[in-house]
Amino acid sequence: MANIAFRVRDVKRRIELSKFSRLMSEMGFETDIGKDEVNVDITPHRPELLDFDMLMWALEVFDGRAKPSKTDYIPINERLIDIEVSKSVSGIRPFIMGVAAKRVDLSGRKADYLIRFIEKISETYGRKRSRIAIGIHDLSKISGNTLRYEALSESSFVPLDSEYSMSFDDIIRRHQKGIEYGGLVPSGKYPVLRDSDKIMAFIPIVNSDATKVSSGTDSLFIDVTGTDAVGVRNVTEIMNCVLRHMGADVYKVGVHVGKRSTTSPSGVWRRLSLKESRISSILGIEDLGSTAVHVRRCGYVASSSKGILTVYIPPYRTDIIGSMDIIEDVAIGYGYNRIKPVPVSGHFVGIPERSVPLYERVTRLFIGIGFTEAMNNYLTDEESQFHNMGRADNGKSVRVEYAKTSSISILRQSLIPMLMQNLSDSMNEPMPQRLFEYGKVFVRVPGSVYERDSLAFVAVHSKANFGEAKSVFDVIAREMGLDLAVVRYEDPAFIKGRCAGISDNGKIIGVFGEIHPTVLNRFKIDEPVIAGEIYLE
Amino acid sequence: MHRYCSMILNYLKSRGSASADQLIAELGLGEDKVLWALEVLKRDGAIEYKRDAVTDVSLTEEGKSYIDMFPEERLVKSVAEGKVRAVGDVDDKIGLNWAKRNGWITIDGGKLSLTKLGASIEQSGRYALRDTLRDLSAGGDTKRIMLKSSTAFDSLKRRHLIDVHERGTIGTIRITDTGNSINDNVDEISYLDREIIKGRLWEGKRFSEYDVNISYGDIYPARMHPMHEFINMVRETWLSMGFVEGSGPIVNPAFWNFDVLLTPQHHPARDMQDTFFLSDPDTVGTGERSLLKRVKAAHERSFGTDWDVSLAKRALLRTHNTVVSARYIRELGSSSRAKYPIKAFFVGRVFRNESIDYKHRAEFYQSDGIIVGDNLTFSNLIFELREFFGRLLGESVAESIMLRPSYFPFTEPSLEIFYFDKNHKDYIELGGAGIIREEITGALGMNKRVLAWGLGLDRLLFDRMGIYDINEIYRNRVGWLRARKSL
């Protein structure tokens, strides 16, 4: 999801605010209207809507107040710029395309909106410039009309908004953009765009101050570079549409790689046809009406005849791949909240999962003997699971590689430490306190993770002793019909001689007893605690 | 009446009130006996007292090392003295980080400079955090310090410079009217016992009376955890609609969590920033080769980029329950005995790599579901979702349901579903849904249409219970669990 803000003032000039919210929601975008700014959330498949004019246009079309045409985005058939691409960029950032425009109006906030749009789309769709980056230049400041795109081992220029020339090595080390994006270029192989007498851009780091764009600029050259050919083409087509909606005249740019040449933008509307019967079978809307009328609200040029819907897809809709995308737009044009719900026909019987009855029985049993249920996080750290319990780290924890929260590093192997922490947080509450938890625990096995259920209980009060723990175990085993033996056991979390192991045919599957006071000190619990845990298969 | 109880009662009769410490000191009984007797007397309505919480504060090792000077103060001093000029000169990143956050320095192109605020701090040497830390270390009245400098206190807590621990104590103990009227009188019976009952010794005597209006001690029923209760409500709703329940593993390879669902391999959601990848184990098995090949082909067709199988094997904690849906679809797809249409649901925990605070958790519950069959439609999907929420939340909420188009990498068409919350006067998101893309079902060997959805449960529960801090429910504080609202 990408978020961008526009001034309320600017939005109100094009559309009334309450209508804006409503239409945005019907189109599928969340808005937040503040006093001065409107924030919009644009889903990743519609990057062109991060541009103010494109968004307003989409709303006007959706509202029926504007009508798109297939000639809207055809560039003027004249190449203003040619780019020669050197082989040296092929392993680094091979793809480049561009558009050139005249009669560009950048007065008022327009320059600011355009630059913010370019930066936002490079960050989101362009994956922080790694996939796509966009450079914008004042066309009148470019010398000649042939540019060269190549990789240099070192050079220098005056970066945008700087006073001094900097070497590229220096820019990578010390300039803000160099620090941020320097990782995208290998050392000593710096992609550069140059005209006949100067370097225009250190790609994708920073432009030269020499071709800087200001609100007085009236002609532009925009370069789109990247590591993804389709992405570069998509963004170029979008930039063409953006400039057209700003009222500019767009011209072609040629790109020459060895003997191969292409020009951009195309401004072409792709055509797609689909059967109306397929649309009906997917949507299931009885009184669908004219699919062409619905889909036109989403910006298409459309017509329907003999049960076939034919649409022309605007060049900025880089997300449309197949007929399903069109069908979705038919539904959006129709209005999701108008769709009549239709039940699925058939005979169905609900069946609960196999493990559920046991969980519910155990819960009822524990509530019946006065234990309240706790539900703890699965994620924890070694300090809680091992150190505070006086137990050695058995090295079998499932480990998380990186967590934003510092107290998360492993998945729990045991429930008792979690319940101990719950008691610690409840020290100022009346005694006695009794908690149980029945939940998942995780342990590392070769090549995999073993997920199993564990049942644990704790009780804290001035008279808590081994006898209570044993009585609880006895009642669990009896009520659940488990054939288990109890043996003397040693576990550093428990007081020696007041600890029992639960044995299933010789294999220890649990433990219970009185918690050792060292452990109580570490958890800052001031009364005796009894605890028990059984791993259930 | 027990001897300890009457000792305490007599003491209070003459003084009206006392503290627990006084009783322990003056009566020579020992803390345990006094506390026990107080509970009995309270239960009988003879005394009343409130429970107080006392806050103990101790400094951590790190906190102790800051008593002289905080690292950010040290940094600002170094910058003022010209000893430190650029980011590269700084050893102590903690100091740099906090100096920047406090607005004491600015960083421009790697160079450090003091702001006006930073300069004035350096000159005056007055820093609220350090003063508060010193107050606490000197053993001042914790509650007073907490109230006076609450921002500083919270800061110290968050930076793990102090440990805060609450203890329960008993407040002032007062004798009640009932207590005053209890006479250890031979003619008046306080407690019935076997002797009195069998020997008919109550004949001709009076019973001491109880005040019917006061509280005689709270009883706390043991209860199910509220999320367990809520999950059962959700499960029962799906079961009543004829859905079969399923489940799946929490640890999955990226293959099932992302690749099978056609999330591109360089999508930001696959970033460490949003997902919990595991370092141990770092990979887990992905299953059948033939499935791998089909998914690889689907990726290369859809995105035109190479598909790297080693990325698909990376182990992670599932970020959504759609993983379980995908596995279920695969099982159906590879079985020839299934009878369609099939309706299935899955409730389980999912994980997102978040910074935990009052609005964000790293683990939460989702309820996912699928319907598989021929000729299923978008309007069927809308029916099942509206029906579910109507049954779970009631008709008045169901009427406020709003649908909005959306985008997910694995569905088309997609929608998001909301209800209107009257308290917040805002639409609250319930979940997302759509028709699973044919490229995905095809790769999974399923030739029928699949409707799917994923709904978040925690938010619904919190709103229902009026909870502000979403982590409270999983802190399992006994007092909170005892007093929490019923669902």
Which residues from chain A sit within 8 angstroms of residue B477, using beta carbons? 422, 425-426, 429
Strand A529-536 and strand A507-515: the pairing is: antiparallel
* pLDDT for res B338: 84
Residue-level pLDDT at B132? 86
Kindly state whether B379 is in contact with chain A, defined as any CB-CB distance less than 8 angstroms: yes
Residues A132-168: tens digit of each pLDDT: 999 999 999 999 999 999 999 999 999 999 999 999 9
pLDDT bucket at B42, cuts 50 / 70 / 90: confident
* pLDDT, tens only, A369-391: 999 999 999 999 999 999 999 99
CB-CB under 8 Å, A350 with B109: no
Provide the CB-side half-sphere exposure for A503 (13 A, CA).
11
Q: Residue A60 — pLDDT band, cuts 50, 70, 90?
A: very high
Domain boundaries, chain A: 2-60, 76-264, 270-338, 356-536
Q: Which of residues A357 and A223 earns the better pLDDT score? A: A223
Tens digits of residue pLDDT in A181-205: 999 999 889 999 999 999 999 999 9
User: pLDDT digits over B312-352, tens only?
Assistant: 999 999 999 999 999 999 999 888 888 899 999 999 999 99
Domain A2-60 class in CATH: alpha beta
**pLDDT at site A205:** 95
Placement of tokens 């499932």 in the chain: A398
**Whether the domain at A2-60 and the domain at A270-338 fall into the same CATH topology:** yes
Q: pLDDT, tens digit, for every residue of B249-304?
A: 999 999 999 999 999 887 877 877 789 999 999 999 988 899 999 999 999 988 87
Checking if the pLDDT of B186 tops 70, the result is no
* Percentage with pLDDT > 70 across chain B: 99
Number of A/B CB contacts below 8 angstroms equals: 266
Which chain B residue is nearest to residue A172, measuring alpha carbons? B109
Of residues A244 and B4, more confidently modeled: A244
Burial class (CB in 10 A: 0-12, 13-18, 19+), A532: buried
Domains of chain B and any CATH numbers? 3-53+169-207 (1.10.10.10), 61-166 (no CATH), 227-250+318-483 (3.30.930.10)
Using an 8 Å CB-CB cutoff, list chain A residues near B166: 427-428
Q: Please check whether residue A257 is in contact with residue A89, taking contact to mean a CB–CB distance below 8 angstroms.
A: no
Alpha helices in B274-343 (DSSP H): 289-303, 309-312, 322-333
- Shortest Cα–Cα distance, A399 to chain B (Å): 5
Q: How confident is the model at residue A330 (pLDDT cuts 50, 70, 90)?
A: very high
Nearest chain B residue to A433, by CA: B478
> Mean pLDDT score of chain A, rounded to an integer?
95
Distance CA A2, CA A42 (A): 5
How does residue B183 score in pLDDT terms, banded at 50, 70 and 90? low
* Low-confidence winner among A25-34, A413-422, B416-425 (lowest mean pLDDT): B416-425
Segment A245-260 mean pLDDT: 95
Greatest alpha-carbon pair distance for chain A in Å reads 94
Examine the pLDDT at B146 and tell me if it is beyond 90: no
**At B67, is the pLDDT very low, low, confident or very high (cuts 50, 70, 90)?**
confident
CA distance B201 to chain A (A): 34
- For residue B40, what pLDDT is reported? 84
Residue B184 has pLDDT above 70, yes or no: no
Cα separation, B385 vs A265, in Å, equals 44
Percent of chain A with pLDDT over 90: 91
List the single best residue of B54, B379, B399, B420 to mutate versus A (max A Cβ within 10 A): B379
Long-range interactions of B322-325: CB distance < 8 A, separation 24+: B322/B261, B322/B368, B322/B410, B322/B452, B322/B454, B323/B248, B323/B252, B323/B256, B323/B257, B324/B246, B324/B247, B324/B248, B324/B348, B324/B368, B325/B368, B325/B369, B325/B370, B325/B452
Name the phi and psi angles at A155, rounded to 5.
-170, -170
A371 HSE (CA, 13 A, CB side): 29
Shortest alpha-carbon distance between residue B249 and chain A (Å)? 7
Residue in A closest to B388 by C-alpha: A343
Verify whether the Cβ–Cβ distance A340 to B379 is below 8 Å.
Answer: yes
**Residue whose C-alpha is closest to residue B164's, from B138, B136, B195, B200:** B136
Residues B305, A228: C-beta atoms closer than 8 Å = yes
At B465, list the tokens: 């219970």
Considering only CB atoms, B276 lies closest to which of A27, A355, A403, namely A403
Strand partners, B105: B114
* Closest-CA distance of chain A to residue B374, Å: 10
- CB contacts of A376 in chain B (<8 Å) are 474, 476
Which residues lie closer than 8 Å to B437 by C-beta, 6 or more apart? A324, B262, B410, B411, B412
**A45: chain B residues, CB-CB within 8 Å:** 407
Closest residue of A to B302, CA-based?
A: A321
Whether B181 has its CB under 8 Å from any CB of chain A: the answer is: no
Compute the distance between CA of residue A54 and CA of residue B251 in angstroms, rounded to an integer. 42
A96-145 pLDDT, tens digit per residue, is: 999 999 999 998 889 999 999 999 999 999 989 999 999 999 999 999 99
At residue B58 the predicted structure's pLDDT band, cuts being 50, 70 and 90, is confident
Å from A169 to nearest chain B CA?
Answer: 14
Q: Judge whether B380 is closer than 8 Å to chain A, CB to CB.
A: yes
Query: How confident is the model over A292-322, as pLDDT tens digits?
Result: 999 999 999 999 999 999 999 999 999 998 9
Instruction: Supply angle C-alpha A17, A22, A25, rounded to 5.
Output: 125
Give me the sheet containing A301-305, strands edge to edge: A270-275, A308-313, A301-305
Model pTM?
0.81
Would you call B62 an interface residue with chain A, using a CB distance cutoff of 8 Å? Answer: no
The pLDDT of A355-364, averaged and rounded, is 92
Closest residue by Cα to residue B453 from B397, B396, B383: B383
Q: At B139, is the pLDDT very low, low, confident or very high (cuts 50, 70, 90)?
A: confident
Which residues of A are less than 8 Å from B479 in CB distance?
Answer: 426, 428-429
Cα–Cα nearest to B110, from A182, A173, A163: A173
- The CATH number of domain A270-338, selected from 3.10.105.10, 3.40.50.2020, 3.40.309.10, 3.30.56.10: 3.30.56.10
Average pLDDT over residues B121-148: 81
Cβ separation A25–B268 shorter than 8 A: no
Per-residue pLDDT of A500-523, as tens digits, reads 999 999 999 999 999 999 999 999
SS3 A347: coil
Contact A325 B109 (CB under 8 A): no
Listed in order, strand segments (DSSP E) in A291-389 are: 301-305, 308-313, 372-373, 379-380
Nearest-CB residue to B407 (from A45, A404, A526): A45
Q: Please report, rounded to a whole number, the percentage of residues in chain A having pLDDT higher than 70.
A: 100
| CB of B211 less than 8 A from some CB of A | no
Taking an 8 Å cut-off on Cβ atoms, the answer to whether B476 and A422 are in contact is yes
| Concatenated DSSP letters of B230-282 | HHHHHHHHHHHTTPEE----SEEEHIIIIITTT--TT-GGGSTTTS-BEEES-
Q: B414: nearest CA in chain A?
A: A328
In CATH, the number for domain A76-264 is 3.50.40.10
For the cut 70, the answer to whether the pLDDT of residue B424 exceeds it is yes
Q: Average per-residue pLDDT in chain B?
A: 88
More confident residue, B19 or B405: B405
With CB atoms and an 8 Å threshold, state whether A350 touches B251.
no
Report B:11-40 residues touching A (Cβ under 8 A).
Answer: 32, 35
Q: What percent of chain B has pLDDT over 90?
A: 42
Minimum distance, in Å, between the CA of residue A373 and any CA atom of chain B: 5
Question: Which CATH homologous superfamily contains domain A356-536?
Answer: Bira Bifunctional Protein; Domain 2 (3.30.930.10)
Which residues 111-170 of B are in CB contact (within 8 Å) with A? 165-168
Can you tell me the mean pLDDT for B170-190? 76
Interchain CB contact of B88 with A (< 8 Å): no
Which chain A residue shows the shortest CA-CA distance from B241?
A350
ipTM score? 0.91
Mean pLDDT over B422-449 rounds to 92
